[in-house]
Structure 1
Amino acid sequence: MTNASLKMLAGAAFALMLASTPALASDHSSSSGDQKAATLYPNATRKAPKNDLTNAKEAKALQEGLTAANAGDLAKATPLLQPLIDSSKSKYAQAKALQGLAFAHAKNNDVKTATDMIQRALALDSLDNDDYFQMELQLANFYLVNQQFQQTIDTLEKWRADGHSDNVDSHGWEGEAYYGLKKYPEAIAQIKQAQAMNGGKSEPNWDEVLLQSYNATGQKDLATQIAQKQLSTDSSNPVAFENNVNLLVQTQKYPEAMSLLEKGRTQGLLKDKQEYVILAKLHMMAAQQADDPKPDSDKAIAVLKEGISKGVVPDDAESNELLGDAAFNGGDYDTAIAAYKKAIPDAKTGEIYVKAGLAQLENNNYTDAKQLIQQGINKGVQHKGRAYMDLAQANIGLKDKAGAATAMLDAEKDPETAAQAKAWLQKAGVGN
C-alpha cells in the first residue's frame, strides 16, 4: 500500500494574518513638529529622524486618510493619501500615506500592492521607531503571505537585530517560512520557540507546521500525536481526519487506521477516492490474514460499492479491478467476474483478462476461463508462466489433455514456473 501524503489544514499556514495586525497609528505630527518618543522599541539601534511635516492642510488630509485606511475604505483613503505620496515635500507624510494605503490594500486582499507600498515607505526612512519597526514586521508578514519565504526570514532577523525586539508571532511566521523552504529542522525550532514564548500554548497553524515537519523528517510518532490532538479538538475536520489516517497507515498501524476510517465512514467524513480505497485495501489485508476471508472481503466490497454509488470513487477500470480482487479473495466469484468484465474494455495489459479467467475457473466455467486467459496471454502479462499454468487448468477442466500439455510446455519455458511445469509434464508422461 502506498503512503498517502498529508494535507495542510485549510486557512492555517500561509493564511493572510491581518487579524494579528495592529491598527494604524495616528499621525504623530504636532504643532511644533516634534516627534513623540518611541515606546515599543526603546533599545533600537536605529536613530529616529525628526518629523518634517509642517503643513497643517496636509496633516489634516493625512489624519483623515489614515482613519479611512484603518476602516479598509480604500475608495475614501486613496484620494486623501495618494496626493501626499505624489507631491508632499514631507517624507514623513509620504511614508505615513504609503503605510495607510498599504494597510487598506491588505484589508482588501491586495497584499502584493501592500508589500510594494510598505517597501517604499521603509525606504524613505522618515518615520519614528514605533512606525518603522512595526512596518518592517508587517513587511515580513506580507512576504510570508506572498510565499517569499527567504525574504520573510531575512526581514524578521533584521527586525530583531535592529529593533532589539522579539515577539511570539515573529517566530511562528519564521517557522512557516522555513517550512515553505523545506528546511524542516529550522521550522521545528522556530515553532518550538514560539510555543515557549507563548507559555507553552500552541496555535493551529503552528501545530500544522510541526505535524508536516515531523512527518517530513521521519518523526512519525510526534506527527501522529499532533494529528490526534487536532482531531480531538475538531472531530469533524476532514483534513485532520485524513492526516490521522495517513499517519496511521505510514506507521503501519493498520487496525487503528481501519477503525478510524470506519468511524469516519459512519460520520460521513470519507470525502475522496483515496479514503475509500485505503479502507477497502485494509479490509482486504485483514481478509488475507484471517482464517475466514469472507467477512472482511465483503466489507471491502461494501466500501467500494458505497464509494462508487456516491460518485466519490470513479466507476472505472482501476476501481472495478480492485472490487473484483476483493470479491475473488472472499470467494464471491460471480461478483468478481462482473467487476473484472467492467474493467476489461479499458485494460492496457492482459492481467485483468487472466484474473477474470481465474474467477471463471473457480466457477468451473472452463470454456470462458480458457478464452479469457488466452486473451490475457496474447495481450501481455507479467507472469507468463503462471498464466500458461492457469490455461492448462482450464484445458484440464475441458478434458483437453493435449491442450493442457501444450500450455505446460509453454510454462516450462518461464524460469518462474519451469520446475513446477516440468514436474507436471513428467508425471503426465509428456516430453523427455
Structure 2
Amino acid sequence: MSIRSFVRILCSIVVAFALVAGNAYAKKEAKEAPLYPNATRKDPKNDMSSSSVQKDLQKALDALNDNKADEAAPLLQKIIDDPKAGKYAHALATQGQGQIAYDKQDNAGAIKAWRAAYDMDALPNNQQFTLLLNIANLQQQDEKYQDSLNTLDEYFKATNGGKAEAYALQGNDYYRLDKYQQAVDAITKAQSISDKPNDNWNQILMASYAGMDQYDKAGAIIEKQLAQHPGDAKLVEQGVKVYVNGRQFDKAQAMLDQNKASLNNDTLYQLYRALGAGYSQEKDGDMKAIDAFAKASPLAKTGEVDYYRGSLLLNNDRAKDATQALQQAITKGGLKEPGKAYLMLGDAYNQIDDVAHAREAWTKAKGYPDSQKSADQRLNLGGHVKMTTQQKKKN
C-alpha cells in the first residue's frame, strides 16, 4: 500500500464542517455584532416597504425555523415573483429557497439559490458573506475542491480576512487536492485565530504532515491529542499507523503497548500484525517482529501471523518454537499458502532431528502445487536434510 493511499484510509477525513450560522431567521430584526469587521462593504439599506410583503416573508421564515418547508415554499416564491417586493426581500426569500434545498440534501439547488441571493448584493454583511462560506462548504461536500477554493478566495477578498472556520475549510480543500503544505498553512492560520480550535482541524494537519512524509510532526500532533484525550481509540490507531508508516516502530510499539486496553481485538490484532511486518523488514528486527506477531496471535482469526512468526523463528535457529507456531498456523487455517506452511513445518522438525514428523509434514506439502517440487526434493533425500540459513529463507 502506498503512503498516499494509506493516509487516505488512515484519516478518511470527511470533516464535519457544519454550515456557519446565517441561514436561520430571527422573528424580529436585531442588531447583530459584525462577523466581518474588516469588510469595506457597508450593510445595504432594507428597501422592503410593503407591510404585506413583510408579513408574508416573516411567516415564511417562521415556517422555515419550524422546519415547515411546505408552508414556507409558496410564500417565498410569491415574494420572489413580486417585482415590487424589493431587493432585500427577494434576496432573503431566495436564501430561504436555498435553505429548503439544503434541508432536502439538494446541494446543487442550495448552491444555486445562495449564489443568486449573494449576487443580489442586498443582504447585511453577516448573511451576505456567510452565504459564500456555506457555498464553499457544500462544494467541498460534493468533492468540488477547486470550486470550493475559488469561492473561499472570493470570500477572503470580500471580508478582508474571514473566520477561522473558513481557513479550516480551505485547509481541507488543499488536503483533498494533495497540496499538503498549503493545507498545513491554512489549518495553522485557522488555529491561530480561533479561541476554540476544532479537534477535526488537527486531523487534517496530521494527515497533511503524513502526506509529506513528516511523520515526526504528524506523530507529535497525535501525542498531544492523546494527552488531552487519554485512551481515545481512534487517536491510538492513527498514531500507531503514522509511526509504522514512518518506520518509527519503537514509537509505534510504545504507543500500542501503553494504550492497548482502549482498542478492540480486531484493531489490536491488525496493529500488532502491521508492527510485526514492519519490524521484519528492518535489519536486526526479527526478534521484535516475532514478539509483535506473538501478541497478535491470540487475537487472530486465521493462522497468518503464526505462519509469519514460525518463518522468522525458523530463520533464526529456533526450530522447536517454529514447530509450535507453524502447527498453530495450520490448525487455525485461512492460510494463503498452506503448502509452504507444511514445508516449513517439516523443515523445523528436521532441524530438531524429528525425521518422522518432518516427513509427515513434507508429504502433506506435496498436496499443494506451490510446494510439491520442494517437498519431493526433501523426501527423496530419505533422511535428515541439512539446510543453510540462506536455503531456509529461499524455501
TM-score range, shorter chain: 0.7 to 0.9
Q: 1 CA distance for matches of 2:36 and 2:250?
A: 55
CA-CA distance at 1:175 after TM superposition: 1.0
Query: How many residues were matched structurally?
Result: 380
**Is the contact made by 1:351 and 1:376 (CA closer than 8 Å) also made in structure 2?**
no
Report matched runs for 1:212-291 at 5 Å. Answer: 212-272=207-267, 273-279=269-275, 281=277
Aligned residue number for residue 321 of structure 1: 307
**What residue is the counterpart of 1:96 in the other structure?**
92
Change (3 A) 1:356 1:75: farther
* Unpaired stretches in structure 1, ≥5 consecutive residues: 30-35, 309-313, 398-403, 418-432
Cα displacement (A) at 1:13: 5.1
> Given the alignment, which residue of 382, 386, 391 partners 1:395?
382
Of 121-130 and 93-102, deviating more is 121-130
- Residue 32 of structure 1 is matched in structure 2 by none
Structure 1 counterpart of 2:186: 190
- Give 1:101 shift: 3.8
Matched with 2:143 is 147
Structure number with greater Rg is: 1
Q: Which residue of 1 aligns with 2:175?
A: 179
Distance 1:393 1:174, change over 3 A: same
2:358 counterpart of 1:369: yes
Counterpart residue number, 2:18: 17
Q: Residue 205 of structure 1 is aligned with which of 193, 196, 200?
A: 200
Range with greater deviation from structure 2 (56-65 or 255-264)? 255-264
Task: State how 1:79-90 maps to structure 2 within 5 Å.
Answer: 79-85=74-80, 89-90=84-85
Does 1:69 pair with 2:70?
A: no
Structure-1 separation of matches of 2:80 and 2:113 = 10
Structure 1 residues 257 and 390: CA distance shift in structure 2, 3 A: farther
What TM-score comes out, normalization by structure 1 length? 0.71
Structure 2 residue aligned with 1:430:
none
Q: Residue 351 in 1 paired to residue 340 in 2?
A: yes
Structure 1 residues 103, 343: closer, same or farther in 2, change over 3 A?
A: same
**Contact 2:362-2:379 within 8 A present in 1 as well:** no
Native 8 Å contact 1:337 1:360 kept in 2:
no
- Asked if the contact 2:345/2:361 (under 8 Å) is kept, the reply is yes
d(CA) in 2 for partners of 1:70 and 1:238? 38
**C-alpha distance in 2 between matches for 1:256 and 1:348:** 32
| Alignment match, 1:426 | none
**Inter-partner Cα distance in structure 1 for 2:66 and 2:276:** 53
The residue number in structure 2 matching 1:56 is: 51
Residue 370 of structure 2 is matched in structure 1 by 380
1:9 and 1:240 in contact (8 A); partners too: no
CA–CA distance in structure 1, aligned partners of residues 130 and 179 of structure 2: 27
Query: Once the 2 structures are TM-superposed, how far is the Cα of residue 226 of structure 1 from its aligned partner?
Result: 0.2
Letter in 2 for 1:197: I
CA drift of 1:225 comes to: 0.7
| DSSP-derived class of the 1:240 partner | helix
CA contact (8 A) 2:60 2:72 kept: yes
Q: CA deviation at 1:230?
A: 1.6
TM-score normalised by structure 2 residue count:
0.76
Residues 380-429 of structure 1, C-alpha deviations (whole Å, 9 max, x = no match): 369x8xx58982796333xxxxxx7xx99xx9xxxx87xxxxxxxxxxxx
User: Take 1:174 and 1:39, find their aligned partners in 2: how far apart are those partners?
Assistant: 22
Structure 2 counterpart SS, 1:332: helix
Does the aligned pair in 2 maintain the 1:373–1:390 contact within 8 Å?
Answer: no
Q: Please state how far the C-alpha of 1:139 moved relative to its aligned partner.
A: 1.6
Provide the alpha-carbon RMSD of the alignment. 4.4
CA distance in 2 between counterparts of 1:348 and 1:269 reads: 28
Superposed CA offset, 1:270-300 (max 9, x none): 54252241355578799x769xx6x985774
Unaligned ranges ≥5, structure 2:
none
